[in-house]
Amino acid sequence: MQLYNKLSAKERAALIEKAGEDRLTLSFYTYAHVKNPQLFRDYLFIHWNKMDVLGRIYVAKEGINAQLSVPAKRFSEFKSFIDSISFLEGIRLNIAIEQDNMAFLKLKIKVRNKILADGLNDETFDVTNKGVHVDAEAFNKLIEDPNTVLVDMRNHYESEIGHFQNAVTPDVDTFRDSLDIIEKDLKDHKEDKNLVMYCTGGIRCEKASAYYKHKGFKKVFQLEGGIIEYARQVQEKKLDNKFLGKNFVFDHRMSEKISDEVIAHCHQCGNPCDTHVNCANDACHLLFIQCEDCANEMQKCCSDHCKEIIQLPYEEQKKLRAGKQNSNHIFKKGRSENLKFKKSKAQDLQLQGN
């Protein structure tokens, strides 16, 4: 019985291209009591592998968090399977605005301690005592209220390329970091202000809303389905789009366009740009924003050093990487010292503050 991938990403990509069939990229999550996460994980793999489902899925005792790709012609079969699981029946599936058949190239289902790495001790508060869920229309009305504080619950590199108008965008590396910052900044308004939160698909707000209610906030709201569902409803209902730029997504696409505005800048030259790339040097692999001109000049690298490395024979590059940890630590996204414009901009802001 197959319980793990046997094909490489390259082999899978070739099969997808050969098939020439459309795939749907989607995501969903739910908090639920899963008694045996490993058994549930294997059960999902056996059935989804047969359906040619690909993606990245986390299973834990507290529930499931999934980003995946399904053959369009098998979506009904996939939905029926989902509905056959009691705590997933009728769950909202966030369908991506922009589709890409190569969004995922493997089926990875992993058992984790949590479906969201939040650094919180869930035993100290009731995670089911959540804030009020609002749809796109109600959300638009709420954020126009002068008594509302709108907070982006995502990390710095996500909000950099796109966010809602007038949103507070904490300059943080992790979801956990933003929780304390927001509580501190709004400590005097726990009872009188509407605390309205949003994230990519809703999972971070789900936990944050319960956390803030536990901390004494009385008026807590979250955007149902996150930016993904908001964009769908805006299109479907012809609503006023309050989102500026792109929505960062955690698959091969890296982002999907929500509005025409380009609010970010190339990290190397400073020109308007909102395209995330990974450094071509596999020993670095830094995630940063790079325009086409800089990509051509730098050969898709983040620095001159990395540019020199990729000129070496492949075997020599492998030797240089041997036994070393990836130099791009996970929280360096967009913050590397190698990013000249990003660094100079930070220095300018520091000087302005002095």
From 131-140, 193-202, 315-324, the region with the lowest mean pLDDT = 315-324
Active site includes 199?
yes
Residues 185-203, mean pLDDT to the nearest whole number: 94
Residues of the chain with CATH 3.40.250.10: 122-233
Residue among 182, 163, 335 nearest 248 (CA): 163
- What SS3 string covers 84-98? CCHHHCCCCCEECCC
Q: Does domain 9-111 have CATH number 3.30.70.100?
A: yes
Q: Active-site residue among 199, 205, 302, 306?
A: 199
Name the band, by pLDDT with cuts 50, 70 and 90, for residue 78.
very high
Is 70 exceeded by the pLDDT of residue 129?
yes
Give the residue with greater pLDDT, 306 vs 337.
Answer: 306
Which distant-in-sequence residues (6+ apart) come within 8 Å of 156 by Cβ? 169, 170, 171, 172, 173, 333, 334, 335
Cβ-based burial of 161 (10 A; exposed 0-12, middle 13-18, buried ≥19):
buried
Tens digits of per-residue pLDDT, 309-339?
999 998 888 888 776 665 555 667 888 888 8
Fold of 122-233: Oxidized Rhodanese; domain 1 (3.40.250)
Q: Which residue has the tokens 């007038």?
A: 166
Residue among 307, 67, 287, 22 nearest 155 (CA): 287
Tens digits of per-residue pLDDT, 3-47?
888 888 888 899 899 989 999 999 999 988 899 999 999 999 999
